[in-house]
């Protein structure tokens, strides 16, 4: 037995050494417009993220992997950085590209770690610039960098990552998947629309795909609470508004469980919190009520009355701090400053939701936005798209995803559900967190869909408190909702079925 154990250790050591040599050889790999700057084996254990603050915790318990870093320069002003992580052992034979948030500007190390731990060879890009995700100043005077951010970096990363994978494992990945939320969701949709053969399956969460209108819609939130100082709603009042919204809407689905199943079925008016004479703290003044109503209503064209972008839903109040609580709405104001008007001193209060939105549409012309509903080429090769969105999202209005899904349905027709499905998550914030179940494995669902051609009928999501799961609930393909069977714990997904929504 000792001899066998010793033999196993020797085999593992030799295998690790062989992979280390193969990994280092990747530094010599020649790829178009690409310079590989690093190729080394990272041993199993914790990984300290490059350029992370000293107090930032490392990524824990990673398997050994070959880490490849490269610079891609498809245009004279391009400087696209990417990393490819390749499991030294236990590779599942598949590739997973992972997305970014906001204006990106950094490799998504956390997402790389998640994909690696699931057995994938994985890749991420900084989208062509280094910087904060809330800041678009990189775009000023650099149109090629805007193109890199818009679509080119992800496509280039995808092609180069597949070449690196083939060189390391001596074979192409059997399947390729995309996984992203917010900007990452938009990136996935852009891939499906512009490069339909890059991925077999795409997970697009809370996609920022209607880019120009999203930017205007979130500036609207900032205007609603900052154009008039009296309209400003202190963040300390958000929990009060949130509780009132839940109280008003919770039972609309027939089950009082602390969640708003579909906020569209509820018409919450913040006027119920109106201050009485002499009251100031636990209430809303008339200007604050009007500001809250504007947030729920969403941005509208003042000339035509047309909806520019949907409003946030009742339940989203804890996340209002991002655009309503800041002195200037981050991410979105940056778009108008550095891309559209090219004026760092531009004041978001001046945004004209008629002419400026029209100018933004003309400027973008489909460059960053990913709204094309024609997914026929993507579907033609067996591509599967899994969209999802949290109903309590306070950064990107959930109805935007419904609008895009329905536009795709008009193109694909009755067979839409065979290749494209949308899952709405009650009580979920932007990309994660919230009152409701918000953890689920969408990549596993799309992998099963691609491999077995069986569309997901439900995805079980969980909610945790203090690290412990305290509720599970199925997410259902839109427009279905999770319906309680009438018996058993309301915290157990087994007691719910997906069915048509309850009629009001």
Give the active site residues.
Answer: 182, 393, 430
At 482 the three-state DSSP class reads strand
Q: Is 445 exposed, middle or buried (0-12, 13-18, 19+ CB in 10 A)?
A: buried
Q: In what helix (H) or strand (E) does residue 225 lie, and over which residues does it extend?
A: helix 211-226
Distance between CA atoms of residues 211 and 224, nearest Å: 20
Tally of CA atoms within 13 A in the half-sphere of 193 that contains its CB: 22
Distance between CA atoms of residues 73 and 322, nearest Å: 34
User: Which of 320, 257, 322, 267 shows the shortest CA–CA distance to 291?
Assistant: 320
Distance between CA atoms of residues 504 and 501, nearest Å: 9
Do residues 149 and 103 touch, judged by C-beta distance below 8 A?
yes
To the nearest 10°, report the CA torsion of 448, 405, 161, 109.
-90
Do residues 409 and 416 touch, judged by C-beta distance below 8 A?
yes
Residues forming a β-bridge with 401: none
Do residues 31 and 160 touch, judged by C-beta distance below 8 A?
yes
Residues 6+ apart with CB under 8 A from 32: none
Residues 6+ apart with CB under 8 A from 255: 261, 484, 490
For the chain, the helix, strand and coil percentages under 3-state DSSP, each to the nearest 5: 40, 20, 40
To the nearest 10°, report the CA torsion of 300, 305, 307, 312.
50
Distance between CA atoms of residues 103 and 111, nearest Å: 16
Residues forming a β-bridge with 201: 177, 384
């Amino acid at each position: 037995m000792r001899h066998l154990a010793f033999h196993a250790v020797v085999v593992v050591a030799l295998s690790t050494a062989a992979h280390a040599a193969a990994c280092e050889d990747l530094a010599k790999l020649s790829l178009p417009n690409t310079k590989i700057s690093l190729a080394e084996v990272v041993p199993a254990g914790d990984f300290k993220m490059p350029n992370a603050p000293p107090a930032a915790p490392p990524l824990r318990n990673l398997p050994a992997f070959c880490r490849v870093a490269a610079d891609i320069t498809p245009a004279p002003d391009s400087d696209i950085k990417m990393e490819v992580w390749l499991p030294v052992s236990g590779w599942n034979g598949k590739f997973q590209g992972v997305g970014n948030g906001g204006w990106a500007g950094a490799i998504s190390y956390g997402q790389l770690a998640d994909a690696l731990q699931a057995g994938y060879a994985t890749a991420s890009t900084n989208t062509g610039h280094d910087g904060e995700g809330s800041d678009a100043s990189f775009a000023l005077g650099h149109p090629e960098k805007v193109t890199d951010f818009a679509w080119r970096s992800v496509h280039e990363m995808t092609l180069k990552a597949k070449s690196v994978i083939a060189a390391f494992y001596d074979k192409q990945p059997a399947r390729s998947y995309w996984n992203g939320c917010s900007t990452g969701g938009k990136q996935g949709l852009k891939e499906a629309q512009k490069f339909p053969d890059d991925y077999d399956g795409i997970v697009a969460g809370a996609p920022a795909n209607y880019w120009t209108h999203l930017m205007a819609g979130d500036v609207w939130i900032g205007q609603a609470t900052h154009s008039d100082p009296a309209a400003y709603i202190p963040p300390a009042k958000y929990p009060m508004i949130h509780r009132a919204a839940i109280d008003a809407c919770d039972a609309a689905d027939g089950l009082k469980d602390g969640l708003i199943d579909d906020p569209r079925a509820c018409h919450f008016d913040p006027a119920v919190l109106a201050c009485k004479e002499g009251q100031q703290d636990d209430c809303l003044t008339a200007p604050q009520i009007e500001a809250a109503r504007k947030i729920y209503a969403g941005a509208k064209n003042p000339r035509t009355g047309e909806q520019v972008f949907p409003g946030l839903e009742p339940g989203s109040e804890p996340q209002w701090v991002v655009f309503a609580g800041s002195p200037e709405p981050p991410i979105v104001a940056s778009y108008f400053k550095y891309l559209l008007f090219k004026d760092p001193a531009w004041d978001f209060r001046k945004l004209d939701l008629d002419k400026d939105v029209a100018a933004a549409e003309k400027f973008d012309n489909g460059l960053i936005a990913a709204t094309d509903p024609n997914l026929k080429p993507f579907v033609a090769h067996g591509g599967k798209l899994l969209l999802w969105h949290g109903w309590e999202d306070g950064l990107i209005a959930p109805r935007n995803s419904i609008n895009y899904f329905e536009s795709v349905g008009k193109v694909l027709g009755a067979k839409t559900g065979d290749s494209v499905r949308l899952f709405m998550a009650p009580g979920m914030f932007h990309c994660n967190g919230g009152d409701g179940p918000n953890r689920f494995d969408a990549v596993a669902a799309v992998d099963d869909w691609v491999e077995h051609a069986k569309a997901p009928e439900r995805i079980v999501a969980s909610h945790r408190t203090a690290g412990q799961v305290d509720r599970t609930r199925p997410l259902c393909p839109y427009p279905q909702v999770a319906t309680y069977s009438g018996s058993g714990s309301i915290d157990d997904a087994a007691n719910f079925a997906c069915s048509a929504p309850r009629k009001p």
